Structure 1
Amino acid sequence: MYLNTHTYYSLRYGTVKPEELLQQASRLGVATMALTDINSTSANLDFVRLASKYSVKPVLGVDFRNGAQRQFIILAKNNNGYQLINEYLSELLHLKKFEVPDSAKNIANTYVIYPFKNEIFNLNENEFIGVKLSDLNHLKFSEWRFQLDKLVILKPVSFQNKKGFNTHRLLRAIDNNTLLSKLPKSEQGEESDMMLSVEVLKTMYSEYPQIIENTQQLLANCSIDFNFEKNEPNNQKTYSGCAELDFKLLRKLAYEGLNYRYKRIGKRVFERLEKELEIIRQKQFVSYFLINWKILKYARSKQYYYVGRGSGANSIIAYLLRITDVDPIELDLYFERFINLYRTNPPDFDLDFSWRDRDDIMNYIFKTFKNTSLIAVYNTFKYRASVREIGKVFGLPKEEIDKLSSGQFVVNKLDELSRLVLVYSKLIKGFPNYLGIHPGGILISEKPINYYTATYLPPKGFSTAMFDMVVAEDAGLYKFDILSQRGLGKIRETVDIIKYNHPTHPAIDIHDIKRFKEDLKIKIMLKNAKAIGCFYVESPAMRMLLKKLQVDNYLGLVAASSVIRPGVSKSGMMREYILRYRNPERRKDAHPILLDIMPETYGVMVYQEDVIKVAHHFGGLSLGEADMLRRGMSGKFRSRDEFMKVKNQFFENCKTKGHTLELTSEIWRQIESFAGYAFAKGHSASYAVESYQSLFLKAYYPLEYMVATLNNFGGFYRPEYYVHEARMNGGVIHPPTINKSYYQSYIEGANIYLGFIMLHSFEVKNASKIVTERNKNGAFLDLDDFIDRVTISLEQISILIKVNAFKFTGRNKRELLWEAYMKVNKVCLEEHIVTLFKSEKVTYKTPELISSTLEDAFDELQYIGFTLESPFKLLTQPINQQLFAADLLNYVGKIVTVYGYYVTAKKTVTSKGDLMYFGTFIDSKGDHIDTVHFPPSAKKYPLKGRGVYKLIGKVTAEFDCVSIEVNQLEKLAIIQDPRYTDAPTQKAG
């Protein structure tokens, strides 16, 4: 009886979750129901999947509207009709301006329902008029009463109760950006748009039994079928069009890859290769491998750098096809983690590209493969944002909204309106707000994407499915992950920079990982954690872990990459791993079975496959049951649920095996801590390969690598810190300079010229003008020459002068500013017209002005964001620093006073909910000082952003890592800005 129901995927309109809608239908005896979200099919597949659980027959359709104005509803008679509806909705959503016409397109295998109007118009055989309860009185006097065969019940359902209606009105006000009191009736649904029992609904239409019968017949004629039980991939089935040819090609490519990958090919390699090939064929994953191979073959043809990672890195076939660079034989990677007969979904390949190359790869995929789309993500209402939005529509003043959103209030002292804001903010928390794009997921389907859903067109122009990856996987559509990362951009650009900065050096083979693994310089860097800027190993936490482990080899780095993950570290296993790594005696504490399963990690679970091994060998779970744990560790599903499904079986098996309850509980606690947080070993190994590439470049070409780091938007730290690191490695840092700088930073020998991109408020077009003119007509001679050749406003040229971009002229910048003020119009004029003769420049007598290096520092702070001078030089009182970072190991257990410039801090919350910090500072020599700020100290002496701090605390050391437990800190004052004071200035030299 229900032809028009909405979930909260009718964005900023509906208020009911899909499952709640089905639960209510089941309670009220509704046997068949059509889901028709407004201009959306996001909930449709989930609705169909859940419907059988509530004994409801699902019907699918779309409520086509312009804003809140319903134009018509289209229902699918079958799957073909549903696909055609999706095509039609996609067609409209892909238009630059979305607009639904007055009448529906003629679509096969569908029913169209128009809203009731008094005027009569011609209807096609599949078209009907929907009569709402509020239309029944009008029907008595309408000509439609003589065409009852064309009328059906239209009982919209958008919310469950009065509170749901109030929430709906708030969502409509948010959508219309208006006060709730000013929300027009036309922009909201009716308060009666709730579900009634079938019997009550029939009673209300009892005067028109034919309308009831029409409605029931229409629903009876509709059926939809998506088989969610088959567990078969619905990705593109074949690569070549023939499954047998696909397999022959896969085998051929694998065997061709042997000579590229191995100098000596042993029996173990062939056995593993054949075993994998057979299971890949049985599980119908052949095309999945070949499609990944095809994408990366194209990438190599364009000389794009990439990293293949994910669980697929456990596969020798992936290694031989050059999808990954990780040798599963060398690392003894667990094959069953990658793929087994119980695994229903394909192995996961995350393909990372430089951010510069990724869009071209995406274009290639969309052009090469037929049924392709991106995946959506649901951007939801967050609580604090909801408070702000609802506060606005209630008309609360900004101060009140700020107070509510920050949580700085006492509930009992709030007025009724403010309390309502909090109540409804909690209600809409988690509601989908708008559709976004998954950062890298691409679907390549056997059937057209519209078979499953409609698509929309985000700004980048790639067609995007209207559901997320969880729904996609429920439908057997497994994504290809095409991701971008800055690390690869840094590697690629460094190699390019080396070519022009060291033209006589031999070409670098950045893929010569075996050589890098044995490089003594890299070993020393790793052991001493000198890896700032290097992929995945530069953060303070990773730096300290490397020191604690004294890692100097590839396998150690692979383990460290996984040990640092939350699942391992928070469970206490990271500390235990460090203890066993450093102390062979401690390894005897491991349970014999666990030590036998995981000798490489001393009986400590570090990787995803360790969990599967322990579950299988220690807990007696089948590989099918262990695969549930794998899904739980992926973080893509409801992680804890996957673990709970096998918990009882694990405990029962352990009891049968004779393990004590205490031991079983402890092992299970460790297993459960991996939910959503673990790395597969192959994944960690892939990260370690990229880390080694970064480490090699940093070891031998540190300045080039730092420039590439700046040009690829840094890494873990702010740009300032990478400039500092370049200086520590012998770089001479120059501000943006008109005769040397480009849009991005540039290196010449040891001289690094910051790019114009580093300048705040400096326009991109002006950077382009400067570089273009310089390339065309040579270096600028002086300020006059620059003004003559580049059209630029006074405001913009002032920025350049203030950061010493004209330092080559040898003139004081205050004089240059005065001269520019006299010679440059305050607004940018049209481009200069080139003439045969240059007009003579008017010369002004410049007054004698002075500026200081301290003024330079404040100009740099304003326009670059940090000073190229040492920040210690800006203090009002020079510090008498006698203790430095390098000395701290001699003061363990003692209270010391040190001075450090703030780099970064990691906030964390204790088990009691108290805030604490882990800080990183640098001393005046440029070395690290690591600090711990426990809750009492963090509360009494909070960090106050960038600056030099006086730090007082106790020196502690653990596994050769020194830190200070801070008891007191003070942010030191800096001098007054000399640009705005009459204080005497130091004349620039």
Structure 2
Amino acid sequence: MPNLPSAYLRTHSCYGFLESLLSPQALVDLAVQHHVPALGLTDHCYLSGAVEFYEACKAAGIKPIFGLEIDFIYQGFSGLLTLIARDQSGWSNLSRLSSHLLVQNTPVDMALLDSHQDGLIAVMGDNRGILRDLLLSSPSSQNLPARFIDEIKHIFPENHYLEIQRFVNGPLKNEALLLDLARSHHLPLLATQNIFYAMPAEEARYRTLTAIRHLSVLQGLSPQQLPPGSAHFPAPEDFAHRYQDLPETFENLKNLVDSVNLDLPIGKTHFPEFPTQNGKSQADHLRESAYAGAKRIYKAVTPEIKTRLDYELEIITGMGYEPIFLIVEDILDHARQLGIPTSSRGSAASSLVAHCLDITSPDPLALNLYFERFLNPARKKPPDIDTDIDSSRRDEVIKYVFDAYGNDRVAMVATVNRYRPKSALGDVAKAYGLSPEIVRQLSKRLPSSFGFKRENVVDEDPFRSLLQEHTIPMLKNILNDARALLDMPRHLSVHPGGIVIAPFPITDLVPLVHSNTLGINHAQYDLEGIEKLGLVKIDLLGIRGLTVLGEVADRIRSWHLSEYKDGLEVLAKIPSEDDATAQMLCSAKTIGCFQIESPGMRSTLREIQARSVKDIMAALALYRPGPLRGGLRDAFVRRFRGEEEVTDIHESLSSLLGETLGVILYQEQVLRIAHELGGLSLAEADILRRAMSHFDPGGVMVTLQRKFVQNAQERRNVPPETAERIWEMMAAFAGYGFPKAHAASYARLGWNSAWCKTHYPAEFMAAVLGFGGGYYSQRVYLMEARRLGLSLHGPHINHSNHRFRVAYPKGQPKLYMGLNQVRDLTQRTISAILQKRPFNSLEDFLLRVDPQKREARHLLMCGALEGLVSIPKGLARIEHKGHTGQMQLFNPMTQEDDWTDEQKFEAQRQILGVSLDSNPLELMADRIHSLGAITTLEAESRVGENVLVAGMRQTWRRTRTRSSQMMAYLSLEDLEGSLLVLITPKVYQRYYQDLQEAGPFLVRGIIEMDTERQQVRLVANNVSLLR
């Protein structure tokens, strides 16, 4: 019996991106099944699968071998060369070469290879390789194959091999040439085969994947784009049989495997370095900064503050985390110097050190926040200091990080974009040449996103119903191939916030790829891979809410508070108490306000009559799955309104849950109960919180539960059965708990938004509209602006900016829509308008700006030249001058004085997407009145009556009843306000088609009072579109 292979050296994973059907885990499972002791992973250009491959191999007792297929160029010829890492230096060189290929987008040449040879083994002879290309294509007179081999041997004198690839159907036709080269140049031979899929039956599916990768149809694939034989995972006996005449190939393979000694540094943390001055340690620098911040914020460092700071600093420095705090402090300080709004999120606000460094804004002492919720010695992972940044200026902050800490040491984190049902079907269908119309029809039956574990794909199959319906063989093949791609990596993109800083050149450990979209480099690993390799991540997340607040603050300063230095000072001076803002909150008129504008949040604000930052914190915590499902929300609301007496399971809870009326709202309260009642240390309490929130494989909860019950009885005289009830209450809450620190950060932003809207509504709504709104469509925000009494105007070449702007021509605010909303208007034309205005006539505008024909028409038709020329005359002049577009909705040669309101309304709708001159409800006001419809404001006085209400759909939420029938909650909006409409399953089914529209609707039904929510709602029995 021939010797069996000691390894399959040339396997490929799906992390080569569309080059293999096999995940790293699937490769390892096949190795285990066939008793192959070692595996080499040699993806083309990418090392993205290395971490997953390494962990799968180690778990299965398989020796992992890391390799890379590189694009190589030699004397004008190109092809692949395979490199294998022998040790850590070899891994670093693989990482650098992979980064070169994917950042510089140029192949490796001999000089670059020579400078990166340490720790590497060169393997020549792949059927797609550079050596075969030289053998088959180069002039024999130049003797390039021999010269190439000599140079490779010079770079890798002891670490070079020639691979002989044989397939089921026999050796390659040029194998004899390779063997001659091996003998003449004394090259050790290896037995290899590229492996791209598991079984021979998957060859057709692999062809489909190859067509997708090459953006080709199946019939268009060339032989060079496919393996020369079956590329499945062979049985070792079959593989060995192919090489009976070359037994040395297995001996050499074993020698190569034995020479590899490489473990990835999983679990070892690599902290970034913060530069300090005068030889000062990072720990000393952090202490000085923290104490200086404490004096600035609190005026004096009291014993309480000193004790807390010293305690936190001891833990931070003891765990080596001081550079993280210092770097985040530096980044945010730079952002503030640029006038960029920032805010904290998550549990970092629990840290007094973070607060004193101006990393977070909530006061952890005043809010009684536990540092251990954020960081404690039992927590092994580095702390997450998540920072929100004005999304429109986030790139400036990221650029600073790259510049300040070194382009060679900084990278963004990657996101692995995986196939979901619609994307899988779309790509497979293109490879088969299926018509786009059929693809669209099939896609309508599939969910856009689909989460599952791959082992459960059969049980959770989005393609099942389509496969059952279609019997055409090609369609079934398409659907089956698409199903096989589900969850497979498709490509890498940049994570929305994660950035890593290494204490060494980052490619020593992590390979990079360049993002053409953002113009920056990012890692080839996602958050999980980065953490496993020990690099510390910092999150810089762009959020639109801060963009809006920054824009509002700048406009407020510009128009009203010029004595302030910048917009950040305006935001810093917003008072924590304000009667007008409180009135807005309790009346829930918070459309546009950060985190508190959704119908559910507005309902919560109204129910608890929120009037302060603290009340917003409670509302944010209440409107969560846990409190909603467990009835805690309703209990809190009743107690908050004095309708229910506060009752505690045990008297000891009254002091622990007093601020939330006996209801657990925050995760920190779980820690406090576990610590003060159950006698657990704060570190143990946080371990308990995490165990309650996630899967608990180590049985931590059982041990801690016993300790909790025993300590509660001994320390507070709590009966065991009562302690068990308290424990169950904590456990029921923990899975959905909301960090109080996070609530405090976001509640302040919500309050600031509400304050700005209350006192400066024009500036606020202009910013909201200018940056794309938020929870609702633009139409909703325009209606809100009208309700606030603001004067709205369409784009105008003499008054509008790029985005929405506010002007005060006669002391009263006017909102002008931005030029960027005019359909087909280019950035060149917008810039020319802003630079060269004002314009005194149509001819002046055309002469100095020279817009494209369609641009000129669209600007005229949406009213952007109002006051300079009427629309009909302007269109006629453009026609006469040759400025004609393709839009023929209206007759340009008409001689009428101006268009009717209806014509203007329709033109704005088509060109701007909405109409500012009028609202559908305004146009139909007489008809609505004649039908006897009431306004939404009248609803409260009509409880119990059968009424008719007209309005537009603001938003709606579809859901299922317990019997799986579809129903909906619709927020109906008119010129006065909004009203909640309950669409029962019977009504939903009857009027399903009409409900897909945005309105306007006529809804008839009964007004009833929801006593729990303290608001009226309309229970619909008839819905129709108002035409």
TM-score by length of 1: 0.88
CA distance in structure 2 between the aligned counterparts of 1:589 and 1:655, rounded to whole angstroms: 17
Name the residue aligned to 1:143. Answer: 180
Gaps of 5+ in 1: 634-638, 829-843, 974-989
Within 5 A, what are the aligned runs for 1:326-725?
Answer: 326-370=362-406, 371-407=409-445, 411-415=467-471, 416-459=473-516, 460-502=518-560, 510=569, 516-583=575-642, 585-588=644-647, 590=649, 597-613=656-672, 627=686, 640-642=694-696, 646=700, 648-649=702-703, 658-659=720-721, 663=725, 667=729, 670-671=732-733, 673-674=735-736, 678-725=737-784
TM-superposed CA distance for 1:892, in Å, is 3.2
Q: Work out the CA distance in 2 between the residues paired with 1:204 and 1:820.
A: 78
Tell me how far 1:70 sits from its aligned partner. 6.1
Aligned residue in 2 for 1:907: 958
| 1:301-356 Cα shifts (integer Å, max 9, x gaps) | 22222112222111000110001111001111122101111011222222222123
Question: 1:983: which partner in 2?
Answer: none
Shift of the 98–679 alpha-carbon distance from structure 1 to 2, 3 Å rule, reads farther
Q: Which moved more, 1:73-82 or 1:129-138?
A: 129-138
Q: Deviations over 1:480-538 (max 9, x none)?
A: 11121222222222222223333677777756668622111111111111222111111
Question: 1:697 is matched by which residue type in structure 2?
Answer: C
For structure 2, the 5+ residue unaligned runs are 1-6, 136-144, 447-464, 714-719, 887-891
* Partner Cα separation in structure 2 for residue 570 and residue 605 of structure 1: 13
- More divergent stretch after superposition (549-558 vs 881-890): 881-890
Deviation at residue 855 of structure 1 after TM alignment: 1.4
Change (3 A) 1:168 1:245: same
Work out whether residues 691 and 701 of structure 2, in 8 Å CA contact, stay in contact via their aligned partners in 1: no
Contact 1:902–1:920 (CA under 8 A) maintained in structure 2:
yes
Maintained 8 Å contact 1:628/1:643: no
Confirm or deny that 1:883 pairs with 2:937: no
Give, in angstroms, the shift of residue 453 of structure 1. 2.5
Deviation at 1:159, TM superposition (A): 1.7
After superposition, the Cα gap between the structure-2 partners of 1:196 and 1:620, relative to the gap in structure 1 and judged at 3 Å, is farther
Change (3 A) 1:400 1:496: closer
1:762 aligns with 2:825: yes
Q: Take 2:237 and 2:657, find their aligned partners in 1: how far apart are those partners?
A: 64
* 2:927 aligned counterpart, secondary structure: coil
Partners of 1:109 and 1:420 lie apart in 2 by 45
Match of 2:1005 among 950, 953, 960: 953
- The one-character-per-residue Cα deviations of 1:803-859 (angstroms, maximum 9, x if unpaired) are 2222223x542223223322344489xxxxxxxxxxxxxxx9994544212211111
- The one-letter code of the counterpart of 1:929 is L
**CA separation in 2, counterparts of 1:161 and 1:660?**
59
Task: Answer yes or no: is 1:81 the counterpart of 2:90.
Answer: yes
May I ask how many residue pairs the two structures share in their alignment?
940
Rounded to whole Å, the distance in 1 between the matches of 2:262 and 2:588 is 59
Deviations 1:467-492 (A, max 9, x none): 00011112222311112122222222
Equivalent residue, structure 2, for 1:161: 199
Aligned-partner Cα distance in 2 for 1:482–1:705? 25
Q: Deviations over 1:921-975 (max 9, x none)?
A: 222x3311122324333332232322211112333323322222333211111xx
1:257 maps to 293
Aligned pair in 2 of structure 1 residues 8, 746: CA closer, same or farther (>3 Å)? same
Q: Percent identity?
A: 27
The residue that corresponds to 2:142 in the other structure is none
Partner of 2:922: 873
Which residue type is aligned with residue 969 of structure 1?
Answer: V
2:1023 partner letter: L
Secondary structure (helix, strand or coil) at the match of 2:957 reads strand
What is the aligned partner in structure 2 of residue 838 from structure 1? Answer: none
Matches within 5 A, 1:903-982: 903-910=954-961, 913-923=964-974, 925-942=975-992, 943-955=995-1007, 956-957=1009-1010, 958-973=1012-1027
Matches of 1:101 and 1:555, distance apart in 2: 63
Aligned position for 2:880: 822
* Cα separation, 2, equivalents of 1:594 and 1:28: 60
Are positions 1:105 and 2:113 aligned together? yes
Question: For residues 669 and 911 of structure 1, what CA distance do their matches in structure 2 show?
Answer: 25
* 1:221 Cα deviation after fit: 0.9
Shift of 1:27: 2.8
Structure 1 contact 948–972 (Cα < 8 Å) conserved: yes
In structure 2, which of residues 947, 956, 959 is the aligned counterpart of residue 896 of structure 1? 947
Shift of the 732–505 alpha-carbon distance from structure 1 to 2, 3 Å rule, reads farther
**For residues 885 and 945 of structure 2, what CA distance do their matches in structure 1 show?**
61
| 8 Å CA contact 1:314, 1:338 repeated in 2 | yes
Q: 1:851 aligns with which of 881, 899, 904?
A: 899
| Alpha-carbon offset, residue 791 of structure 1 | 1.2
Distance 1:543 1:242, change over 3 A: farther
Which stretch of structure 1 is more off in the superposition, 945-954 or 391-400? 391-400
Structure-2 separation of matches of 1:954 and 1:431: 51
Which of the numbers 757, 777, 793 marks the counterpart of 2:852? Answer: 793
- Residue 181 of structure 1: CA displacement? 3.7
Calculate the TM-score normalised by the size of structure 2. Answer: 0.85
Residue 13 of structure 2 aligns to a residue whose secondary structure is coil
Distance 1:250 1:616 in 2: 29
Could you tell me which of 205, 212, 215 is aligned with 2:253? 215
The structural deviation recorded for 1:164 is: 4.0
Structure 1 distance, partners of 2:415, 2:324, is: 23
CA distance in 2, matches of 1:254, 1:372: 26
Assess, with a 3 A threshold, how the Cα gap between structure 1 residues 3 and 505 changes in structure 2: closer, same or farther.
Answer: same
SS at match of 2:576: helix
In the TM superposition, residue 877 of structure 1 has moved relative to its aligned partner by: 7.3
Query: Aligned partners of 1:383, 1:850: CA distance in 2, in Å?
Result: 51
Tell whether the 8 Å contact from 1:38 to 1:62 is kept in structure 2 after alignment: yes
Does the CA contact (< 8 Å) of 1:704 and 1:747 recur in 2?
yes
Distance 1:377 1:505 in 2: 44
CA spacing shift, 1:682–1:239, aligned 2, 3 Å: farther
3-state DSSP class of the match of 2:987? helix
> How many angstroms apart in 2 are the aligned matches of 1:520 and 1:432?
53
Matches of 2:422 and 2:579, distance apart in 1: 51
2:872, 2:895 within 8 Å by CA — same for their partners in 1?
no
Q: Does 1:773 find its partner at 2:783?
A: no
Conservation of the 8 A alpha-carbon contact between 1:148 and 1:211: no
Amino acid at match of 2:332: L
Deviation at 1:71, TM superposition (A): 0.6
2-structure distance, mates of 1:275, 1:319: 15
Deviation at 1:6, TM superposition (A): 1.5
Structure 2 equivalent of residue 741 of structure 1: 800
SS of corresponding position for 1:517: coil
Q: 1:506 to 1:823 in 2, by over 3 A?
A: same
Q: Secondary structure at the match of 2:113?
A: coil
Cα deviation digits, residues 156-200 of structure 1 (max 9, x gap): 222222354333222112222333343333223366323345555
Other-structure match for 2:889: none
